[in-house]
Chain A
């Protein structure tokens, strides 16, 4: 029931070694391979089409023909799209929310995950179950009262109105607890004998052992904060405080026939996430896999 991250990684790398040795598949395997490649083509087509629309001449969009490739590449499309809305502000807002949100959420999740994994205390299991059960609550169910809390605290239109409520991340607590349970108690016990304080033990003994789970949490939290829409839509009402997804939604209403501009903006909006995905693909996939295993 532990994470078994090492096992998954070993299995994956062993398999990859096998792949490099494998030759062109034959017979039944060839049919399966062709089917998978066709499926992948369907999966990638919408993204390709976004790209082709974004870089192609806008005059070609409405001639009614199906052209898989644009006749020429117009890089100035991106500059034009960027100038239509204050994207610089939206990107800065999104980046601040994502980065500060990741630091805050991951830190408080690590703290409480550690308490749930390594301490016995009154009310532990009840609090843990209450927190985890919030995974099921759709944001819309609590949107109205949660908005009232945020507005009482004067955090409407503020990045804190988005960041603080998202610190209540049950997934992160679950993941951290699951990982930290397997850290041997003796490490903490011997540090206590040496007179180390509880926070010091957490900071300089437990955290360095948790790099894999911290990595997974950072990637996931970044993705969620960067892609967040429903909650910022309610809290961030002034355009100067908009994030990238809110800007996209605004652009959709303003330029609803200018698909070249809209697809350029969409492409630009997903690039940060695609970069994170390409760099951290393995940790990403393992993170989903290891939480799904239980």
Chain B
């Protein structure tokens, strides 16, 4: 019996060793096969286009004309291009106007909704639902509500005996109106992330602070806010990226106007490429925006690492 089993076992083990040798080879190429489909689409539609836009930015090229290599000329002419500077300034104003406000309101609502209250689930859904609506639909709704003559906001002001405002057709109010609409659609996103972070803070911390006699504000200032720091860091990055990406909303609501008062960089790129047909200059703006975003993220990432080390 004993010999029988060993005899049977030996060939079996040999088979297993051989099989695992083949399996190992398969395991070595398997990950490449798994990432292949994604790597192909990334390469074709993102990596090559990024390199392509670097290359195109070094050329003088209109859609109808021939392509000529001009070196850094497109970048030099950007320096003296007033609209480029106005678009950069508008992009900065939009980011400064939306990032702190959406985060601040998002945090306030999250702090409020983090306590037991009637209708909590419904309230959370109401604050969050604008996040899921297409920006084209948001743009149309906002155009109607903010329209000069028959919009709900001006009608309301009028019936209260207050002066009406040209929300979207004056250079003064167009940008603040866009910022207000952005707060409407982005608040819920910030709220949800803060709410999840708040639920991750152990109750014991708050109880210990209360035992030590901390007031509500002190509890927030010295316990809650520091615990939320990683979340706040992340939200700054996500919101800045969003604010530099925003296109659909502005395209539908003001198309960059009146004048160039709401033209941001992505708008300007679209205009140069698909309306003026100046591919070289459009790509140069794209490269600048790309470099700025990369620099911001790296810089911010280093700061956040340092401050996390320090605390």
> Which residues of chain A have a CB within 8 Å of any CB of chain B?
8, 11-12, 15-16, 18-19, 21-22, 24-25, 29, 32-33, 35-37, 39-40, 43-47, 49-50, 53, 61-62, 64-66, 108-109, 111-112, 114-116, 119, 121, 124, 127, 130-131, 133-146, 148-150, 164-165, 167-168, 173, 192, 195, 197-199, 202, 223, 226-227, 229-230, 234, 244-245, 248-249, 252, 259, 262-263, 266, 269-270, 273-274, 276-277, 281, 284-286, 288-290, 292-294
B-chain residues with CB within 8 Å of residue A16 when the two chains form the complex? 120-121
- Compute how far the CA of A64 lies from the CA of B44 in the bound complex, rounded to whole angstroms: 54
Could you say which of B32-40, B68-76, B207-215, B302-310 contacts chain A?
Answer: B32-40
Are A227 and B134 closer than 8 Å at their CB atoms? yes
Number of A-B contacts (CB under 8 A): 308
Residues of A within 8 A of B130 (CB): 43, 46-47
Residues of A within 8 A of B56 (CB): 144-145
Given the contacts A43-B187, A47-B141, A149 and B193 also touching, CB distance less than 8 Å? no
Q: Is the CB of A197 within 8 A of B123?
A: no
B129–A47 CB distance below 8 A: yes
Cα separation A244 to B134 with both chains bound (whole Å): 10
CB distance from B304 to the nearest CB of A (A): 13
Chain A interface main SS type: helix
Q: Let me know if A134 and B112 touch, CB within 8 A.
A: no
CB proximity of B153 to chain A, nearest CB, Å:
9
Measured between beta carbons, the chain B residues less than 8 angstroms from A165 are 41, 44-46
Contact with A along B84-104 (1 / 0, CB 8 A): 000000000000000000000
Expressed in whole angstroms, the Cα–Cα distance for A182 and B119 within the complex equals 35
A139 and B290 alpha carbons, distance in the complex (Å): 11
> In the assembly, what is the distance between CA of A114 and CA of B132, in Å?
28
Are A141 and B286 in touch, CB under 8 angstroms? yes
Given contacts A40-B127, A198-B33, 15 further A-B contacts (CB under 8 A): A29-B115, A33-B117, A46-B130, A46-B141, A138-B293, A144-B273, A144-B286, A149-B48, A167-B38, A227-B136, A229-B248, A245-B248, A263-B140, A270-B137, A289-B196
Q: Which chain A residues lie closer than 8 Å to B115 at the CB level?
A: 29, 32
State whether the Cβ of B225 lies closer than 8 Å to any Cβ in chain A.
no
Establish whether residues A197 and B26, one from each chain, have CB atoms under 8 Å apart when the complex forms. Answer: yes
- The residue in chain A whose Cβ has the minimal distance to the Cβ of B238 is A292
Which residues does chain A contribute within 8 Å of B118, judged by CB atoms? 19, 22, 24-25, 33
Identify which of residues 2-25 in chain B touch chain A, using a CB-to-CB cut-off of 8 Å.
19-20, 23
The answer to whether B38 and A108 have CB atoms under 8 Å apart is yes
A46 near B112: Cβ-Cβ < 8 Å: no
Which residue of the partner chain, among A21, A124, A142, A277, contacts B50 with CB atoms under 8 Å?
A142
Which chain B residues numbered 262 to 291 have a C-beta less than 8 Å away from chain A? Answer: 266, 269-270, 273-274, 279, 282-283, 286-287, 289-290
Q: List residues of chain B with CB within 8 A of the CB of A62.
A: 149-150
| Contact present for A15 and B117 (CB under 8 Å) | no
Docked CA distance A8–B41 (Å): 34
Cross-chain pairs A/B with CB under 8 angstroms, 5 sampled: A19-B118, A108-B38, A150-B45, A263-B144, A290-B196
**Considering only CB atoms, which chain B residue lies closest to A118 in the complex?**
B31
In the bound complex, residues from chain A placing their C-beta under 8 Å from that of B141 are: 46-47, 49-50, 263, 266
Task: Name the residue among B27, B134, B283 with the largest chain A CB count within 10 angstroms.
Answer: B134
Question: With A137-B290, A262-B140 in contact, do A44 and B126 touch (Cβ < 8 Å)?
Answer: yes
A64 contact from B125, B143, B158, Cβ within 8 A: B158
Within 8 Å of chain A (Cβ to Cβ): is B294?
A: yes
Q: Is the CB of A146 within 8 A of B196?
A: no
In angstroms, how far is the closest chain B Cβ from the Cβ of A216? 13
A167 touches B134 (CB 8 A): no
Between B140, B189, B193, B248, the greatest number of chain A beta carbons within 10 A of the residue's beta carbon is seen for B140
Q: How far is the CA of A39 from the CA of B31 in the complex (A)?
A: 49
Closest Cβ neighbor of A245 among chain B residues? B136
A19 x B184 contact (CB < 8 A): no
Q: Which residue of A lies closest to B146 (CB)?
A: A46
- Residue pair A138, B45 in contact (C-beta under 8 Å): no
Indicate whether B30 reaches chain A with its CB closer than 8 angstroms.
yes
Q: In the complex, which residue of chain A has the Cβ closest to the Cβ of B54?
A: A145
B135–A229 CB distance below 8 A: yes
The residue that B234 contacts in the complex, of A25, A61, A277, A292, with Cβ under 8 A, is A292
Given the complex of chains A and B, what is the CA–CA distance between A62 and B297 in angstroms? 48
- A138 in contact with B126 given A127-B35, A168-B41, A269-B134 (CB within 8 Å): no
Q: Are A149 and B144 in contact (CB under 8 A)?
A: no
From B109, B132, B140, B287, residue with most partner A Cβ within 10 Å: B132
A19-B118, A61-B150, A66-B156 given; A136·B247 CB < 8 A: no
Q: Tell whether B83 is near chain A: CB-to-CB under 8 Å.
A: no
Q: Closest approach, in angstroms, between the C-beta of A25 and any C-beta of chain B? A: 6
